[in-house]
Amino acid sequence: MSPKILNIGAGASGIAAATRLYESGFRNLIVLEAENRLGGRIHTVPYGENVLDYGAQWVHSSVDNVVYDMAAKYDLVEVEKHREDELCIKSNGEEVPIEVSNRIMDVLEHSIDDEENVKQYKKSLGDYYVERYFVLKIAL
């Protein structure tokens, strides 16, 4: 008789865990989710003629990442760089000025290329981003 498994949550981690269990032969598996949809904090909602993405918006790192592996397996991974015309909207509905959002994306993309310095940085990651934001602002 196979064990009864109760998986709490159908967000990215819950779905990843349930998938691994199922692929490993466990069939007596139930996934419980509090919401009326899958995805956990990842949620897309209509916004006028567009949509807003809440929660996670991309898969971080393809190395030893079960979520990336699952998404790639089903051709759900899209490699995309930041476009200059993308709008960023705060959770309160306020639009972030395009110059600010572009500079923030430059900092984020730079931190990916500057991984070793990020690892050695002695303050918080938030401090690193704030510092880089103003360094890039001066450099521009």
Are the beta carbons of 78 and 62 closer than 8 angstroms?
no
Indicate the pairing of strand 43-47 with strand 50-54: antiparallel
pLDDT of residue 81: 59
Say if pTM beats, i.e. exceeds, 0.75.
no
**CB-count burial class (<10 Å; 0-12, 13-18, 19+) for 107:** buried
Cβ–Cβ under 8 Å, residues 12 and 42? yes
Q: What is the CA radius of gyration of the chain?
A: 19
Q: What pLDDT score does 129 carry?
A: 83
Helices (H), the chain: 12-23, 66-73, 98-113, 115-120, 125-139
Q: What pLDDT does 91 receive?
A: 73
List average pLDDT for each run of 10 residues in the chain, which is 140 residues long. 90 91 95 90 85 73 76 76 71 85 80 78 86 71
